[in-house]
Amino acid sequence: MITMDESHDIKRAVMDGKSISAVAREYGHDRKTIRKILDKDLSQAPSPVPRQRAKKADASVREWLEDQLRTSSAMLSPKDRPTATRLHKLLEEGSVEGVSGCAVSRRTVCRYIAAIKQDIKAGKPHFIRLTHPAGQAQVDFGEMRLIWKHHQCALAVLVLTLPQSNARFACLLPAQNFECVAKGLTLIFKHMGGVPPTIRFDNMSTAVSKVHRPGDLLAPDIYDAEGHPRRIVDDFKRMMCHYGFRAEFCNTAAGNEKGSVENAVGWVRHNFFSPTIGIDTDLDAFNATVLIPGCDKAMEETHYQLGKKIRELYQNDRDALLPLPAKLFDGATWSKATVNNYSEVQLEGSSYQVDCARGTQVFIKKTADHLMILDANNRQVGFWPRSYEQGSTLLDWDLHLKDLSRKPMAYRNSPLRKLMDEQCDSYLMHLRSPDRAALLAAIRQKTQKAALEDVLSGLSQVLKECCGKSAADVVCRLRGHGEATADQTPKMSVPKEWNVTVQVPSLSVYGVSGHA
């Protein structure tokens, strides 16, 4: 391609009297090329609009391609939509009804498809740039992949943004249930020192139980009946009433209506969780030491549009916040369950062992992190960390050892064997049933004062010391293992400042001389 500088030099050379042939030899171009450069009209800038090419296919081909693209984009996922190569092959084979076989190149089909896609995109509604009042907030969840306590898992991050200032707050949580929503919002509200008067959400199941269409026959308990009618979950409604904020909900499948927080979720992912991080502490400690301080530090940045510090703009949001209530919201919820044949209750795919007879109805108080299980007499029969791993079983080792001491033959297939070292497991497997029951009862007794892992470690040491001795000796030694003996018991002494004198009693009053 000949540059404008070279064209200028060629014209100047001809104007200086050189022949076209001489200029062609000097610049290494053909005489016809030099003539085209001299005849080229440079009075106007060249138009960037592409020239319309002559159509190499009839209208039926374009109509068929447009029908295929519009249908696939509306009904199929991107992975299942036909490619340009596949559509060209169908045209070549002549297998398209209503379109005769025609010699259309693959490049022509690609050009047609690009033009049709451009027309489809042009028909979509464009976005509107909005302004947000101070104090208005948006909330959304994001999923983060990380290594927590040496296990790879996906946890949820609750993100709240204030679009007026672009201030962002985030909280790492184990799941996206209502208890986690309540815990995350309460933590953020407490850190902000107030509650945003209006918060926009998507139609998450923890807040919205049903989406109604405008104009439907609406019941009295429908929220925002004039705008976006929704049926709100009772627990979420209770939280709204407690904090006093008004909830706004996006249209279905319209995440762009809360674009500020959608962008903030990506910002949190790239700044705190990429590349994949490992967390050894609990989530509360991570939020308090990493996530929330990191969001506070980001307020020192400049707003992407207004050119001011985010912290300065955030002050307007702070002034518009509602005051915190005297008592923070308790996001715990309740559910009922029945104890099964294994003395377990099941909740959300996980099983928890309780100290109850089978068939007993219990009440479960659920928080984001723990479960408290009560019977009908308000007696606590179980307290567990809440499990979010499907199919997990949480055993109460005291109850399990109690059952094993009653049914010692069940030890063969007991989960307890996974915690035993080879020596202890082999010893228990070779014991007679009564001796095994006695040893399991002794292990249970020791777990009242020590962790199970420490008790099993002590059992291993006792077996080494009692090599060749009877099972009864092992049980006796285990019961006393780690406890102070008579020789080890510290002697008590009386402080000198007490001035205590020891008097030996006289036996003369009994008419005896000290012996029979």
Q: CATH number of the domain at 191, please.
A: 3.30.420.10
Q: Considering the chain, what percentage of its residues have pLDDT values greater than 90? A: 48
The pair of structure tokens assigned to 10 is: 């060629």
Three-state DSSP at 473 gives helix
DSSP per-residue string spanning 209-252: EEEPPTTS---TT-BSSSSS-EEEPHHHHHHHHHH-PEEEEPPT
Q: Distance from first CA to last CA of the chain, Å, rounded?
A: 135
Q: Considering the chain, what percentage of its residues have pLDDT values greater than 70? A: 88
CA 102 to chain centre: 53
CA distance 347 to 387: 9
For position 479, what pLDDT does the model report? 85
Boundary of a domain, candidates 364, 394, 424: 394
DSSP per-residue string spanning 283-302: HHHHIIIIIHHHHHHGGGSB
Closest CA to 197 of 162, 232, 224, 157: 162
361, part of any domain: yes
Residue 169 shares a structural domain with residue 309: yes
The residue type of 221 is D
Which tens digit of pLDDT belongs to each residue from 243-255? 999 999 988 877 7
For position 55, what pLDDT does the model report? 58
Cβ–Cβ under 8 Å, residues 261 and 141: no
The stretches of 127-194 forming alpha helices (DSSP H) are 178-192
φ, ψ (nearest 5 deg) of residue 418: -70, -20
49, part of any domain: no
Cβ–Cβ under 8 Å, residues 134 and 317: yes
For position 161, what pLDDT does the model report? 96
Q: What is the β-pairing status of strands 136-148 and 198-201?
A: parallel
Number of other CB atoms surrounding residue 426 within 10 Å: 11
Closest CA to 185 of 229, 245, 230: 245
Cβ–Cβ under 8 Å, residues 261 and 140: yes
Beta bridge partners of 223: 230
Indicate the DSSP class of residue 511.
T
The pair of structure tokens assigned to 200 is: 């926009």
For position 485, what pLDDT does the model report? 46
502, part of any domain: no
487, part of any domain: no
Residue 390 shares a structural domain with residue 402: no
Residue 14 shares a structural domain with residue 28: yes
pLDDT of residue 63 exceeding 70:
yes
Residue 175 shares a structural domain with residue 299: yes
Q: What mean pLDDT do residues 120-139 have?
A: 80
Task: Tell me which residue has tokens 């006289």.
Answer: 506
Tell me what the pLDDT averaged over the chain comes to.
86
For position 289, what pLDDT does the model report? 94
For position 225, what pLDDT does the model report? 73
CA distance 438 to 424: 14
For position 168, what pLDDT does the model report? 96
Q: Please, which contacts does 293-299 make with residues 24 or more away whose CB atoms are closer than 8 Å?
A: 295/167, 295/168, 295/169, 295/170, 298/168, 298/271, 299/167
The pair of structure tokens assigned to 39 is: 């005849």
Residue 103 shares a structural domain with residue 200: no
For position 484, what pLDDT does the model report? 45
DSSP per-residue string spanning 300-327: GSBPTTT-SBHHHHHHHHHHHPBPPPSS
pLDDT of residue 150 exceeding 80:
yes
The residue type of 304 is Y
201, part of any domain: yes
Instruction: Name the residue range of residue 14's domain.
Output: 4-39
Boundary of a domain, candidates 263, 293, 320: 320
485, part of any domain: no
Residue 243 shares a structural domain with residue 116: no
CA distance 392 to 114: 51
Q: Tell me the pTM.
A: 0.71
How big is the chain by its Cα radius of gyration, in Å?
A: 40
Residue 306 shares a structural domain with residue 362: no
The pair of structure tokens assigned to 184 is: 């995350």
Cβ–Cβ under 8 Å, residues 300 and 310: yes
CA distance 144 to 176: 12
Q: What is the β-pairing status of strands 208-211 and 198-201?
A: unpaired
pLDDT of residue 98 exceeding 80:
no
Indicate the DSSP class of residue 358.
T
Residue 244 shares a structural domain with residue 388: no
Q: Residue 255 contacts by C-beta under 8 Å, 6 or more apart in sequence?
A: 140, 202, 262
205, part of any domain: yes
Residue 158 shares a structural domain with residue 295: yes
Closest CA to 195 of 234, 246, 131: 246
Question: Of all helices (H) and strands (E), which one includes residue 6?
Answer: helix 4-15
Residue 258 shares a structural domain with residue 143: yes
Which tens digit of pLDDT belongs to each residue from 415-465? 999 999 999 999 999 999 999 999 999 999 999 888 999 999 999 998 888
Higher-confidence residue of 52 and 171: namely 171
508, part of any domain: no
* Per-residue confidence band for 471, with pLDDT thresholds at 50, 70 and 90: confident
pLDDT of residue 173 exceeding 60:
yes
The pair of structure tokens assigned to 486 is: 């008579």
Region of poorest pLDDT, from 101-110, 117-126, 226-235: 117-126
Q: What is the β-pairing status of strands 136-148 and 151-162?
A: antiparallel
Residue 72 shares a structural domain with residue 113: yes
* Per-residue confidence band for 132, with pLDDT thresholds at 50, 70 and 90: confident
Q: What's the structural domain count of the chain?
A: 5
pLDDT of residue 380 exceeding 60:
yes
Boundary of a domain, candidates 367, 394, 421: 394
Residue 389 shares a structural domain with residue 417: no
